């Protein structure tokens, strides 16, 4: 069956072939490490990281070992050091230019999400269809008309787009963004998108998560 998300198939190994769950955990570890670092801890063991992230020490070590040997035996990992490594692995040693498409309640909340800017994600554009919204300012950015999406996205050199749209509109916007060279989409709408190879999509599906909770409550 044609699997339409052929995303990270291009080269077989930047280092090996990293599983998605591993990447997600790295992101978690990073947050704890930053906390630990802020608290003045200079080293941390896989066990401590595991506890913070609700996982196991072996998992932590495996995750990190896909990228190199960052720890010292008998001691643990140097906090500062490991922060730097993980930031580099995740590509957080630079800033990313974000656009938000859809300036409704959800889009507005996302655009103003605290902790975007400080983590290197800069909202450089916000788009909407509604003439009453266009021209308003949100998080220091003026809402633009979605009709020049392609040109604006290229001019703004956007790396990532966040879609906060009604499901009916999401697919067409996704296609336009992909065509305009945006290779990463975060989709808050409820319909899964079909995108060209080379474009990565992550879904934030509120309804789905609630339904999983409903299942859990029903079958416990």
Q: Which of residues 1-30 bind DNA (CB under 7 A)?
A: 1, 3, 19-22
Give least dist CB 192 to DNA, A: 14
Question: Would you state the structure tokens that stand for residue 128, as one six-digit string?
Answer: 């909407």
Q: Site size for DNA, by CB under 7 A?
A: 27
Of 28-47, binders to a copy of itself (CB under 8 A) are 28, 30-31, 47
- Judged by CB under 8 A, which of 44, 99, 106, 163 binds a copy of itself? 106
> Footprint of DNA on residues 76-95 (CB under 7 A)?
76-77
Scanning residues 52 to 91, which ones bind a copy of itself (CB under 8 A)? 52-57, 89-91
Work out how close the CB of 2 gets to a copy of itself at its nearest, in angstroms, rounded to a whole number. Answer: 8
DSSP-assigned states of every residue in the chain:
---S--GGGSSS-SSS---HHHHHHHHHHHHHHHHHHHTT--EE-HHHHHHHTTS-HHHHHHHHHTT---EETTTEEEHHHHHHHHHHHHT-SS-EEEEEE--SHHHHHHHT-TTSGGGTEEEEEEEES-TTTTT-EETTEEEEEGGGHHHHHHHHT--EEEE-S-HHHHHHHHHHHHHTT--EEEE-SSSPP---TT-EEEE--HHHHHHHHHHHHHT-
Nearer to DNA, 42 or 172 (CB): 42
- Per-residue contact flags (x/-) with a copy of itself for residues 185 to 204, judged by CB under 8 A: xx---xxx-x---x-x-x-x
Stretch near a copy of itself under the rule CB under 8 A, chosen from 11-19, 73-81, 125-133, 146-154: 11-19
Q: In the complex with a copy of itself, which residue's Cβ is closer, 75 or 109?
A: 109
Choosing from 11, 40, 69, 217, the residue that interacts with DNA (CB under 7 A) is 69
Using the minimum distance from each CB to a copy of itself, give the nearer residue, 147 or 215. Answer: 215
Among 102-110, 129-137, 149-157, 170-178, which window interacts with a copy of itself (CB under 8 A)? 102-110
- For the record, the structure tokens of 154 come out as 């290229």
d(CA 18, CA 37): 26
CA-to-CA dists, residue 50 to 97, 125, 219, angstroms: 32, 38, 28
Contact residues for DNA (CB under 7 A)? 1, 3, 19-22, 45-47, 55-59, 61-62, 64-65, 69-77
């Amino acid at each position: 069956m044609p699997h339409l998300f052929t995303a990270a198939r291009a080269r077989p190994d930047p280092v090996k072939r990293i599983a998605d769950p591993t990447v997600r955990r790295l992101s978690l570890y990073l947050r704890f490490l930053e906390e630990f670092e802020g608290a003045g801890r200079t080293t941390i063991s896989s066990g401590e990281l595991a506890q913070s992230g609700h996982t196991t020490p072996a998992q932590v070590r495996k995750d990190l070992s896909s990228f190199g040997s960052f720890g010292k035996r008998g001691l643990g990992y140097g906090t500062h050091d490991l922060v730097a490594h993980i930031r580099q692995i995740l590509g957080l040693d630079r800033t990313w230019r974000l656009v938000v498409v859809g300036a409704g309640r959800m889009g507005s909340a996302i655009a103003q999400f605290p902790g975007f800017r400080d983590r290197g994600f800069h909202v450089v554009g916000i788009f909407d269809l509604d003439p009453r919204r266009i021209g308003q300012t949100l998080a220091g950015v003026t809402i633009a008309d979605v009709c020049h999406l392609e040109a604006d996205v290229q001019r703004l050199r956007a790396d990532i787009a966040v879609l906060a749209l009604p499901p009916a509109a999401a697919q067409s916007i996704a296609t336009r963004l992909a065509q305009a060279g945006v290779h990463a989409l975060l989709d808050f709408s409820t319909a899964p998108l079909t995108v060209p190879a080379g474009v990565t999509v992550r879904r934030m599906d509120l309804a789905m998560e609630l339904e999983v909770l409903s299942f859990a409550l029903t079958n416990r």
